[in-house]
Structure 1
Amino acid sequence: MMPQPTGRLVRKDDGVYLVLDRMFRAPIEEVWTYFSRSPRLASWLGEYSGSGATGAVKLRMTADGDGSDWQDVAVLECTAPRRLHADIGAAGDSHRMFVHLTEASGRTAVTVGRRLRSVVDEADAGPRWDYYLDRLVAAHDHKPEPEWSSYGPVMTEHYRTLCRELDRDLRSDAAAARLGTRG
């Protein structure tokens, strides 16, 4: 069965975020370790060095291949085992990310968000994060990793359509606001 795109675009005060969810039959503390412990993070996304306690970490996304560069990570908020907010990448070129975990009835919901710098130009982030999060599910459930070829080419148009529609809405809102202030 081919994976389906699961992301949605959410407007927040500080921009537009690509937001995706996954559900786990596991306690929140267990799922949190896939974001906070280097060996578990490496099983689905990448490896890190440094200390989250200091707010300074380096991340190398091995899910993108062995040639990936180390990226700066500025931890903005870390409330274990529920919330992680960080800027990933060089200053001025970073991506704001968040991870929120909630638990109920022995299940943990994970919500991941990535702020888009450009709604039009970053539609490719959708398939990548569907792929990464399905790798997380596979790592947690001890299943084979998904194949990237089932994501990028297949899902890109879905995310491009979402981005075009939101861009049109944002432009309409901006035009209406300009007309409203002139009246």
Structure 2
Amino acid sequence: MSQALEQLQARLARLEGEASVRRLMARYMDLCDVPRDSLALQSELAELFTEDAVWEGLGARAEQSFGRHQGREAVAAFVAGYLPPAEHFALNLHFIGSESIAVEEGGEKASGQWLMQQVSTYTDGRSELFGTRLNLDFRRVGEAWQISHFRTRRLLAMPLGALAEGKA
């Protein structure tokens, strides 16, 4: 009976970890979608990351565009730097799917992979469509899950006008 209880507790920890990671990703994407009226945006972003977090672009285009940022405050400042009041995006929408989340035994760490579609309109009026693969690592810190390593690899980038003109 104790072995069955241990197995049930381990399964519950995995399921709770997956649900927590899913909510964490939804919160991150929500904070990145604009317009947002929040003076506390950078602080809210920082709460989602571990103290030693890394956020990086992989592949030549993403490395060049995003670079690598380490530490909770550096990551939050980098991400917030793209969002209002910074004059970069006028509109930004993220859609994630093809989710795969794995919680390690013990329920303290997890990894996840998503395909992300991003529709962005810049303050200069241009609009683009992006397709990206996200690979993230997570850690449970106390009762909260946080992002410890965020990796993004751009798979597709095109002006939205190209879709309308049939040039995609």
TM interval, shorter chain, is under 0.3
TM-score scaled by length of structure 1: 0.26
TM-score scaled by length of structure 2: 0.28
